[in-house]
Amino acid sequence: MNLMTALARLLIFPGLLFAVPAAWFFLWVERKAVALMQERIGPPFMQPFFDFVKLLAKNTPPRRGIGGMLMRAWPLIAVSGAAGAVGLLPVLPSSGGFEGDLILLLALLELPSMCIIAAGFSSRSIFGEIGSAREAALSVSYNIVFLLAILSVASSQHTFRLETLASMPDSPLRWLGIVAILVCLPAKLHINPFSLPNAEQEIYAGPMTEYAGPELAMWELAHGLEWVAGAGLVATLVAPHIGKGWLAAALFIALSLVMVLLLSTLAAATARLAIDTTVRFYWQCTLIFAVLAISSALFMRFRS
Amino acid sequence: MNLWKRLICTCRRRSPWLFHMNSGSCNGCDIELVAALSPRYDAEQLGVRLEGSPRHADIVCVTGPVTRNAVSAIKTVYGQVCHPKAVIAIGSCPATTNVFIDSRTLAGPLEKHIPVDVFVPGCPPRPDAIIQGVAKAAEILAERGMKPPDAESAPAVEEAQP
Ligand code: SF4
């Protein structure tokens, strides 16, 4: 991948120029889907954009010292991590990529949740600290399953290159991996039933309690970009590259939208679980599938 | 007014986030405020969102006749909401202390402590009236955002520890 394609992917498609409006659109789809399921009309189409601009124009409380600087930095790091993750998705066929970009993608996907943990603790609000502790516990539980699932898909193909993974032949192992990723996505996106870290009303706003104005706008954007990255990752794994150029892009967008609808339905239909139930769910129920997936992947690898 | 300012003005009007503050209400007004956000009245059409933290909010909705205990909490919460902000007094209680008038546990009405922008009278007011009040407060908010923060109208409050 040369510099020009890297920049184009990061800034244009599927990077910022596409991802930011897509993030707003997905946030709107999520809210609208919940509204329609409750037989309401719901927010207008431009609502996430209105919220974003309004927050940008709001004042922030004065923040002093290193703690204040860190509090300003975390949301920016989270946004850049999520934007970088979106930019790495192999949407267009033969658009470049490099050996090992899967590892970079996983690290970037993890960055926003790391930032949320750090943000809650550096805000020194007791609600923020509770939220961060929950986020940390949640992250430890779902990440094992998430990483094992992706590893099993990768090791069955002998590669850590996203491009090769996206165009690999169909196999039951891939679907097992996709199911495991799907189970982890609600926890990664903090939606019901795993909306523990930012449990609205229960612990105020969790790690975000002390954030206001532009910083909060950045958190909202990071959350939207996480939606694009998470839904996009599944979309690229589900659909092998069909056709060229715009067809692949259109398929990617359509599949991501289906993913968002699926996840919002889940969020609307469920209530928040307690932290111990969540941790038990990931460690007891889903871990076994992930271990199965990776062991069968290794088995297939030795056989071939 | 240039384009960016007009855009911000519109966005403020279209996205009022509420913080609900109970200052000793009988719970009647609180139920009506929640009803205004329920599927039947669907205040989200106006972009309304009920926020958990006052830092995120634009509009503080105060219910209840302001008991003596609640005064410092109201002032702290008012200080924690960032500029521009507006205050709605929901129900007759914060406006006049209503049926609790002359009680020795009260320090109301609300206007003695923080500036109020919109009164929604009623005991309790109907959800439609509350939504109308929110829409009006959002317009006030959009205009207020054009001016720098006004030091005189805001009471002196100590910032809560970040
Ligand atoms: S206005 Fe009426 S309903 Fe509302 S808090 Fe006061 S007494 Fe209760």
* Bridge partners (DSSP) listed for residue B106: B67
Note the Cα A213 to chain centre separation in Å: 23
pLDDT for B140 equals 92
Residue B51 lies in a domain: yes
Please check the confidence at residue A288 and state whether its pLDDT lies above 90: no
C-beta neighbour count of A112 within 10 angstroms: 27
Residues A59, B161: C-beta atoms closer than 8 Å: no
Residue B151 lies in a domain: no
Q: In angstroms, how far apart are the furthest CA atoms of chain B? A: 52
Cα-Cα-Cα-Cα dihedral sign, residues B38, A263, A109, A28: negative
Residue B149 lies in a domain: no
Please check the confidence at residue A281 and state whether its pLDDT lies above 90: no
Query: Which residues lie closer than 8 Å to A62 by C-beta, 6 or more apart?
Result: A68, B159
Residues with CB under 6 A from ligand 1: B 25-26, 28-29, 63-64, 91-93, 98-99, 123-124
Q: How confident is the model at residue A302 (pLDDT cuts 50, 70, 90)?
A: confident
Q: Which residues of A touch B55 (CB under 8 A)?
A: 61, 205, 209-212, 216
pLDDT digits (tens, 9 = 90+) for A151-193: 887 877 777 887 777 777 777 777 877 888 888 888 888 887 8
Total count of domains within chain B: 1
Note down the domain range covering B35: 3-144
What's the whole-number mean pLDDT along residues A193-212? 78
Residues A204, B52: C-beta atoms closer than 8 Å: yes
B132 secondary structure, DSSP code = H
Q: How far apart are CA A158 and CA A81, in angstroms?
A: 26
Residues B82, A59: C-beta atoms closer than 8 Å: yes
CA nearest neighbour of A225 among A188, A267, A183: A188
pLDDT for A240 equals 64
Burial class (CB in 10 A: 0-12, 13-18, 19+), A4: exposed
| Helix, strand counts (H, E) of chain A | 12, 0
CATH of residue B118? 3.40.50.12280
Please check the confidence at residue A93 and state whether its pLDDT lies above 70: no
Q: How far apart are CA A41 and CA A47, in angstroms?
A: 13
State residue A285 phi and psi, 5-degree precision.
-90, -45
| Mean pLDDT, 10 residues at a time, chain B of 162 residues | 87 92 92 91 90 90 93 92 91 91 89 93 93 93 79 49 44
In the block, tokens 């009007």 appear at B13
pLDDT for B161 equals 46
State residue A148 phi and psi, 5-degree precision.
-60, -40
Residues B11, A68: C-beta atoms closer than 8 Å: no
C-beta neighbour count of B149 within 10 angstroms: 13
* Ligand 1 pocket mutation pick from B20, B21, B23, B25 by most atoms within 8 angstroms of CB: B25
CA nearest neighbour of A144 among A198, A181, A192, A194: A181
pLDDT for B152 equals 44
pLDDT digits (tens, 9 = 90+) for A97-119: 778 888 888 899 899 999 999 99
State residue B141 phi and psi, 5-degree precision.
-60, -45
Give the nearest ligand 1 atom to B26 CA: 8
The ipTM estimated for the assembled molecules is 0.89
Q: How far apart are CA A151 and CA A159, in angstroms?
A: 10
Mean pLDDT score across all residues of chain A: 84
What's the whole-number mean pLDDT along residues A231-257? 79
pLDDT for A290 equals 76
* Bridge partners (DSSP) listed for residue B21: B62
pLDDT for B162 equals 43
What phi-psi label fits residue A172: left (phi over 0), alpha (psi between -120 and 50 degrees) or beta? alpha
Residue B68 lies in a domain: yes
User: Considering only CB atoms, which residues of chain A are within 8 Å of chain B?
Assistant: 31, 35, 38-44, 46-47, 49-51, 53-54, 57-63, 67-68, 71, 123-125, 127, 200-201, 203-205, 208-213, 216
In the block, tokens 């996840």 appear at A263
Residue B63 lies in a domain: yes
Cis peptide before B155 (omega within 30 of 0): no
Residue B156 lies in a domain: no
Report the residue of B4, B8, B14 to disrupt the A interface, i.e. the one with the largest count of A CBs within 10 Å: B14
CA nearest neighbour of A273 among A213, A204, A191: A191
Cis peptide before B84 (omega within 30 of 0): yes
HSE of B115, CA atoms in CB hemisphere, 13 A:
13
Residues A205, B39: C-beta atoms closer than 8 Å: no
Name which of A18-32, A107-121, A254-268, B136-150 the model is least confident about.
Answer: B136-150
Residue B162 lies in a domain: no
CA nearest neighbour of A213 among A57, A93, A80: A57
CA nearest neighbour of A241 among A188, A170, A147, A149: A170
Give the nearest ligand 1 atom to B65 CA: 6
Q: Give SS3 for A298.
A: helix
Report the residue of B8, B13, B15 to disrupt the A interface, i.e. the one with the largest count of A CBs within 10 Å: B15
**Alpha carbon of A163 to those of A93, A208, A241: distances in Å?**
8, 36, 9
Which amino acid is present at A237?
L
Report yes or no: B14 at the A interface, CB cutoff 8 Å.
Answer: yes
Residues A209, B52: C-beta atoms closer than 8 Å: yes
Q: How far apart are CA B143 and CA B148, in angstroms?
A: 11
State residue B107 phi and psi, 5-degree precision.
-125, 25
pLDDT digits (tens, 9 = 90+) for A70-87: 988 999 999 999 999 988
Q: How far apart are CA A177 and CA A167, in angstroms?
A: 15
Contact A207, A128 (CB under 8 A): yes
Closest partner CB to B47 (pick from A35, A47, A201) = A47
Q: How far apart are CA A116 and CA A96, in angstroms?
A: 31
In the block, tokens 């532009």 appear at A214
Q: Which residues of B touch A208 (CB under 8 A)?
A: 53, 56
Residue B37 lies in a domain: yes
Q: How far apart are CA A151 and CA B5, in angstroms?
A: 49
